[in-house]
Chains A and B, each alone.
Chain A
Amino acid sequence: MRPVAPLENDDNPCRPRHFKPTLAAPSDGDTRVNRSLELSRNRLMVTAGAFLLAFGIISLRLADVTLLKTPDPEVAKLGQPLAAKPTQFSRGDIVDRNGVVLATTLESSSLFANPRTITEPAKLAKQLAKILPGSKESELYAKLASDKSFVWIQRRLTPAQEYQVNSLGVPGLDFQREERRIYPQGSLAAHVVGYSDLDGKGLAGIERSFDAALSQSHEPLKLSIDIRLQAILKEEIQKQIDAFTAVGGTGIIMDIKSGEVLSLISLPDFDPNDLNTVVPETIFNRATLGVYEMGSVFKIFNTALALENKTATLSKMYDISKPITIGRFTIHDDEPIHHAIPVAQIFAVSSNIGSVHMVQELTPEIQKDFLGRLGLLRPAQIEIPEIGSPQVPNPWREINSWTIAFGHGLSVSPVQLAVAASAVADGGILRPATLVKRPAGFVPPGQRVLSPRTAELMRELFRYDVTDGTGKKAEVPGYLVGAKTGTAEKIGAHGGYMHHGNLSSLISFFPMSDPQYMVYVIIDEPHGDRNNKAQASYGFVTGAWTAGPAVQRIIARMAPLLGLKPIEETPDIHRALTVDIPGMGPKVAAN
């Protein structure tokens, strides 16, 4: 029997459509099967090619990503673990010009308890009272035995106390992390740095004026203050306050080229770590908030005014033999001189009468305008909030102009006077003072208030006052110190001048060949005592005898500290600093 050949041309209309004929070996000429096999193979090849291409692309990309490409830092960061950060405090540090920490924030812990979980309150109270000084056992017991679930035991423990409490191992006690503002230098820079309250809010000084900046920035704020000079200034002023049983004192050291205040002291002072010491007497900043009639140091401005307006020269003679009477006032000199003397000597012996004669040749308006340009009639501009407003006479009459000539009738703060006098000594250019460190070598733009020639003459006068005048006590060999003394009678509580309440001061500059530093010391109400050896002043309480020795010691200590070599007084320097008055002979020459 012949096998039944598959039906080729299906002519059977009843045959279902999906019927597939069984495969049989292709017969010759059966091209249909061959064609379908060919097609499958082609399809397979195309698919394999597509896969090959895809894998090829992937491997190329892999090689590119892993071997050739440098990783994108943003993407690379994703896979890394989070870097641990040091503790961030809510307030930045304050440091001095050399980076010594003046104010910083430390972590501290406050102890609290859950009395409900405490089993032996009596025993625990006894133990805690031992660890925490200043706490009473009975009070602690009352807290621990209460039926609350939360009581504060003590805020801000020291690390040692925290350790001791932890080692008790009592459940129910726990710590809350808090911040605490610390002033490692204690009272030394108190009036500059100021202080802040328990919540870290600045209440005085830099802490207050830079409150916002300190709480935003984590960079330390660098002040212009040098803590070493701060220590020297404080020690020397304190010595004089003690010797003269004075009520207080203040001092400023300034770099007059840059206007940076290197040291600012007001005594008595307070410890910003201990808010109990912050009382009105100690918090009062005499250097910036206190305004005083400064006395003879004002003759700096009076003399500069007369020289600048060319109504006087250093050698112009004034008769100072007769006191000046106006109304019920008499202006006289403590040590009258009964003949005429030149301007240079009026400055050096500090004659009130001579100073008044000099200002009489000028109008009060010119004087007021000049003092205004020196910044003496408006509050000082410096970065702490404790700034006193000068007491300016209104109207500014002739009598006011006479008394202001020798430093009475116009009250200014020591920092105002320091800035103005520095302008006179530093070539006649007024530069703003600052408590924040300036970049090294930066000289702030200033305002010319005196001609260079007048400033030069004033430098000679400063030096002359030390070599031949009232400022001799401030001389330090090798540093060409120039100075002016001042002693003002203070106004008493009931108005009128106190005869035994003086404000004695001395302002100095060095080296006078090219003034770089200003040292200003004021002793408030020194009391003279002939028999007190510590005073060494024969009972005198003037600026020369009270502030003078302090300034001398301060310069002698600070100059080597700042690396200033002694200056050899060459004939050129000597000539430049010597007051030249015809007819006065070599006596006036600085020797």
Chain B
Amino acid sequence: MMRSSTFLALVLVSGLGFGLFKVKYEVQSLEEELAKINRQAAADQDAIHVLKAEWSYLTQPVRIGDMAGRHLALAPVTSAQMGSFDQLPLKSDRPAEAEGGDVKIAAVLKAMQVASKPAQARQTNIAAVKPGGDR
């Protein structure tokens, strides 16, 4: 009895010792990894800080405007280009599809015009202003 319990204790001690050793080293390597990640995160945050400043510098509205004018066939949105979802034609408004599934473009445009009311009901003739009215 005494001998078996001693043996069991020995097995337990060596098992636990080995377990403890393994866990300790695992924790140590995890801690190293954590410190590394923390350092990396701090370095990344520093980089983000600099990049934000650079982003702001590179996206100066005037610079973007110049580049868009030179390289793109795009222009700022005008009020006439703004609409809402209820201006889009519903499926029921859609004209019958021609053979082969092609929709006649003219018919679609017409349907859109019917669905949308012109946004500007009234046009003021700016050019017709008489000069020199103000003081």
Residues of A within 8 A of B (CB): 80-81, 83-87, 100-102, 104, 106-107, 182, 184-186, 188, 227-228, 230-232, 235, 295-296, 333-335, 349-350, 352, 466-467, 469-470, 472-473, 475-479, 485-487, 537-538, 540, 542-545, 552, 556-557, 559-561, 565-566, 568-569, 591
Instruction: Choose among B65, B82, B123 the residue that contacts A560 (Cβ–Cβ < 8 A).
Output: B82
Instruction: Choose among B31, B39, B53, B80 the residue that contacts A101 (Cβ–Cβ < 8 A).
Output: B53
Instruction: Choose among B56, B124, B131 the residue that contacts A540 (Cβ–Cβ < 8 A).
Output: B131
**Could you tell me the distance between the alpha carbons of A266 and B134 in the complex, rounded to whole angstroms?**
24
Interface class of chain B by DSSP: helix
**Could you tell me the distance between the alpha carbons of A296 and B34 in the complex, rounded to whole angstroms?**
69
Is B60 a contact partner of A544 (Cβ separation < 8 A)?
no
Shortest distance in angstroms between B122's beta carbon and chain A's nearest beta carbon?
Answer: 6
Residues of A with C-beta under 8 A to B65: 231
Instruction: Choose among B43, B53, B126, B134 the residue that contacts A542 (Cβ–Cβ < 8 A).
Output: B134
If A485-B134, A537-B131, A560-B77 touch, whether A184 touches B61 (CB-CB below 8 Å) is no
Most B CB contacts (10 A, CB to CB) among A228, A296, A333, A568 go to A568
- When C-beta atoms are compared, the residue in chain B nearest to A563 turns out to be B82
Instruction: Choose among A188, A475, A487 the residue that contacts B134 (Cβ–Cβ < 8 A).
Output: A487
Shortest distance in angstroms between A489's beta carbon and chain B's nearest beta carbon?
Answer: 10
- When C-beta atoms are compared, the residue in chain B nearest to A504 turns out to be B134
Is B132 a contact partner of A538 (Cβ separation < 8 A)?
yes
Is B122 a contact partner of A102 (Cβ separation < 8 A)?
no
Number of A-B contacts (CB under 8 A): 145
Q: Give the size of the chain B interface in residues (CB under 8 angstroms).
A: 46
Instruction: Choose among A104, A296, A479, A542 the residue that contacts B132 (Cβ–Cβ < 8 A).
Output: A542
**Could you tell me the distance between the alpha carbons of A537 and B62 in the complex, rounded to whole angstroms?**
27
If A477-B79, A556-B79 touch, whether A334 touches B135 (CB-CB below 8 Å) is yes
- When C-beta atoms are compared, the residue in chain A nearest to B84 turns out to be A565
**Could you tell me the distance between the alpha carbons of A542 and B134 in the complex, rounded to whole angstroms?**
6
Shortest distance in angstroms between A352's beta carbon and chain B's nearest beta carbon?
Answer: 7
Is B129 a contact partner of A185 (Cβ separation < 8 A)?
no
If A184-B57, A228-B61, A350-B135 touch, whether A86 touches B34 (CB-CB below 8 Å) is no
Is B34 a contact partner of A540 (Cβ separation < 8 A)?
no
Instruction: Choose among B39, B123, B132 the residue that contacts A477 (Cβ–Cβ < 8 A).
Output: B123
The list of the 6 closest CB pairs from A to B, nearest first, reads: A231-B61, A86-B45, A184-B56, A470-B134, A184-B57, A101-B56
If A101-B53, A182-B53 touch, whether A81 touches B133 (CB-CB below 8 Å) is no
Is A469 a contact partner of B119 (Cβ separation < 8 A)?
no
